[in-house]
Amino acid sequence: MRRPPGTAMIVRMNDVPLTDLPSHVEWCLIQAGVWEPAARALLGDVDITVRTAADMGCGPVGWLPLLLERWPELRLVGVDTDQRMLEEARGRLAPSGTGTVELRGEDLFSSSLPEAAFDLVHARTMLSTLGWSATQLAGYVRLTRPGGWIVVEEPDTTSFEPPPGTSAMAELLGLTREALLLAGKELDCGRHLDELFGDAGLEPQWRVAVVTLPPAHPYHLLPVILARQHADDLAAVVDAASLADLMLAARRDQQRHPEWTATVTLVQAWAVRREDQ
């Protein structure tokens, strides 16, 4: 049975429940906090006039407040399929200038947003999460006006090293990579953004953001949360009981190593839509 978005997953091993995982909304907020400095740095380099922007798969925060902070008069649209995410975002946004925000519950693959309507279109972790990368990128190009920016941020989890002497996190990440490939997705597609952009007829610029997490930071739960997020895909490579055991073992490994720090990586790529596209 599929769980409602935003609810905590409970898995059991030896009758010990794993109930302390962040909800989906909470995790998105944690992730946004980790990558906020990288987002600010990139936004500071945008060298075009931005009057309209769209944040695709915005979740409860995404780039929405940063875009409004950068351009207070912005007309901003946030898109997500999850109404809980949009409600959370609605409660967090308070434009301070003359800008406006519209939050829309839409599928990224069948958006009703008008063509060439935005000066900037942004998406974070949508390619790795949903797959169909070429289709997604084509959609983002369609929404961007000629001369506007398409910005995509995707992970490279190969920099994530679990605590020494443990195996559950590495095994979870390996199974997740395998399962997503079978489902037509790629967990570490940040490593190939230059190729994906090139195939879409775009000439990308890119940079790599690397963060060393402080001890006990909740983002150390990344392998466990990814396994929860992609549980349906993982069913093709591991049975539910074994997956639950691995998730709990990984959680315990984190708790037993409070001094442990991991490195996480995000690849940011951006390109300008040409006049002839």
The domains located in the chain, with CATH, are 14-158+184-212+262-272 (3.40.50.150)
Q: What pLDDT score does 109 carry?
A: 86
Q: What is the pLDDT of residues 146-192, one digit of tens each?
A: 999 999 999 999 999 999 999 999 999 999 999 999 999 999 999 99
79: nearest Cα among 36, 130, 42 = 130
Q: Go through the chain and tell me how many residues it has.
A: 277
Examine the pLDDT at 138 and tell me if it is beyond 60: yes
pLDDT of 229-247, one tens digit each?
Answer: 999 999 999 999 999 999 9
Q: Ramachandran region of residue 245, left (φ > 0), alpha (ψ -120 to 50) or beta?
A: alpha
Question: Tokens 């790599």 label which residue?
Answer: 208
**Residue 158, amino acid:** T
* Full-model pTM: 0.91
Q: Tell me what the mean pLDDT of segment 32-46 comes to.
A: 96
- Over pLDDT 70: what percentage of the chain? 93
Look-up of token digits 């920016």: 149
SS3 131: coil
The pLDDT of residue 79 is above 80? yes
